[in-house]
Amino acid sequence: MRHLISPSDLSVDELDRILKLGQSIMKNPEKYSHICDGKKLATLFYEPSTRTRLSFEAAMLNLGGKVLGFSSADSSSAAKGESVADTIRIISSYADICAMRHPKEGAPAVAAMYSKIPVINAGDGGHNHPTQTLTDLITIKTLMGRLDNMTIGMCGDLKFGRTVHSLINTMVRYNNVRFILISPRELKIPDYLRQEVLEEGNIDYIETNELEKYMPELDILYMTRVQKERFFNEEDYIRLKDSFILDTTKMKYAKKDMYILHPLPRVNEIAAEIDSDPRAVYFKQAEYGVYVRMALILTLLNY
């Protein structure tokens, strides 16, 4: 039985297969609309979510399956003190596959140890978010036709942003990908990523707080929200939250064919005036997330 806890649980070949399957579902969704008849997906969300939970649910419904679950810790027995281990033991007999989001790093990995069904990490604290990475990859692959030979700028909260951590961890596995990591000093990527992934992997990267300076070099600009819920004090959040705001003035420095991605939700970091720029693909990205999650569910259920 397979789980998806960290992006490295999937080999590059498996990633390619999932992305191809996602693209073929995108072209012909009807063909897949009954494959999961009679199957159930449980969504166990201990933290807020719009896209991830609903796109997982839409994915299973599109495949002909059914969904059950909870959307906050308060509405589950976690509020009574139940452990993740006990919860998953029970859910294992109610569903065929589950997606879990939890504020504690490692919670989905613990669940996988006690689970009789595949567990998908739908975000664990400030750690990983592998299915957002699948969403990012299918977007890049579909729009640019490749996942190698590019310069990708990541901007915003690189410290707490789990989507950033998973995307870096994955993109380093493709050839000639260069990273420009743009953040305030306080929100730089965690040391383990810098040392164990970028340095040890001999990856070309720059850490900077200057978006405009590097903008002309970027093929992709991956904007992120400052992760309010992970801050220890509100003052720091308020001081840092508007460090980078992408607007039409800054976009003047960008390549004509650069794409702007964002895992969403957006708060202030992309001005609404950018939404009509053809390079802004974050809403399309959220749409692609359904197809790639359909492909992932099929893969983990061995179809």
Q: Which residues are catalytic?
A: 51-52, 80, 101, 129
- Output 32 or 169, the one with its CB closest to ligand NCD: 169
> Rounded to the nearest whole angstrom, what is the least distance from the CB of residue 264 to ligand NCD in the complex?
5
Asked whether the beta carbons of 130 and 8 are under 8 A apart, the reply is no
> Rounded to the nearest whole angstrom, what is the least distance from the CB of residue 81 to ligand NCD in the complex?
25
- Output 19 or 158, the one with its CB closest to ligand NCD: 158
- Output 96 or 269, the one with its CB closest to ligand NCD: 269
Contacts with ligand NCD by CB under 6 A lie at 51-52, 123, 129, 132, 162-163, 225, 263-265
Q: How many helices (H) and strands (E) does the chain have?
A: 11, 9
**Tokens linked to 149:** 């030979």
Residues 6 or more apart whose CB falls under 8 angstroms from that of 197 comprise 168, 169, 172, 203
> Rounded to the nearest whole angstrom, what is the least distance from the CB of residue 129 to ligand NCD in the complex?
5
Q: CA neighbours within 13 Å on the CB side: how many for 25?
A: 28
- Output 32 or 108, the one with its CB closest to ligand NCD: 108
CA dist list (Å): 47 to 122, 125, 240, 245, 256? 10, 9, 23, 26, 37
Instruction: Tell me whether the omega of the peptide bond preceding residue 265 falls within 30 degrees of 0, making it cis.
Output: yes
Beta pairing class for 40-45 and 66-70: parallel
> Rounded to the nearest whole angstrom, what is the least distance from the CB of residue 148 to ligand NCD in the complex?
24
